[in-house]
Amino acid sequence: MPQTMNLATVDDEYGVLNRTVIYRGLSNDNGIIYVTQRFTRNYKNLKANPKACFTFYWPKLMVPAEGAEPCVWQVRGLGATATELAESELDALWSEEVLATRIRALVFPCGEPVEYEELKAKHDECLRQHLSSGRPLERPDTYTAFKFQPERWDFLKAGVGAIADRVQYRRQDNGQWLAMHVAT
């Protein structure tokens, strides 16, 4: 399974809106990258207000040095600022997409009421044309990606019968990170 994260944005209709997205790796400056489409709410939200929070949740994380029992981990990025990646950086991400994702990016609308059979027919037609022509599926203009740079990183480790351990990294005005344990 790809690694997912929960992403919350400021939304002008719901106040705050969260969703699951796929973590796509780190940028050169250690930003957290995810891919989206320009017609989604998450895209529109981040363009209107680049502040966001994200959470990773690992319910059974094994740390060999800490024994055979798995622990629950949560990693949060607080007060993250989103920056859209440059067009030149998108081809590499598009080249990693599997066929089903490429077709979805090309033919499926997002958030609009839709008939399933209509969607499936569009999908099947796109797949048929691609297979019969052998032409690659080009990256659509709607395909894009953001990177996040948080003000704070928050690592929380919990376990059954264990005292939770939480470590925070707080970015200082001078760009340095201050690390400390905090109570949960």
Ligand X SMILES: Cc1cc2nc3c(=O)[nH]c(=O)nc-3n(C[C@H](O)[C@H](O)[C@H](O)COP(=O)(O)O)c2cc1C
Instruction: State whether residue 48 is helix, strand or coil.
Output: helix
With CB under 6 A as the contact rule, which of the stretches 34-42, 72-80, 145-153, 169-177 interacts with ligand X? 34-42
The CA-to-CA distance between both ends of the chain, in Å, stands at 29
Binding segment toward ligand X, per CB under 6 A, in 12-20, 53-61, 98-106, 131-139: 12-20
Candidate list 8, 10, 33, 41; residue touching ligand X; CB under 6 A: 41
Site string for ligand X, 93-132 (x = CB under 6 A): -----------------xx---------------------
**38 touches ligand X by CB under 6 A:** no
Q: How many CA atoms lie within 13 A of 70 on its CB side?
A: 7
Q: Assign 174 to helix, strand or coil.
A: coil
Residue linked to tokens 């740079």: 149
Residue 144 contacts ligand X per CB under 6 A: no
Q: From CA 79, how far away is CA 62, in angstroms rounded?
A: 28
Helix (H, G, I), strand (E, B) or coil at 10: strand
Selected from 14, 19, 59, 178, the binder of ligand X by CB under 6 A is 19
* CA distance linking residue 35 with residue 147, whole number of Å: 9
The count of residues interacting with ligand X (CB under 6 A) is: 14
Q: Which residues bind ligand X (CB under 6 A)?
A: 4, 17, 19-22, 34-36, 40-42, 110-111
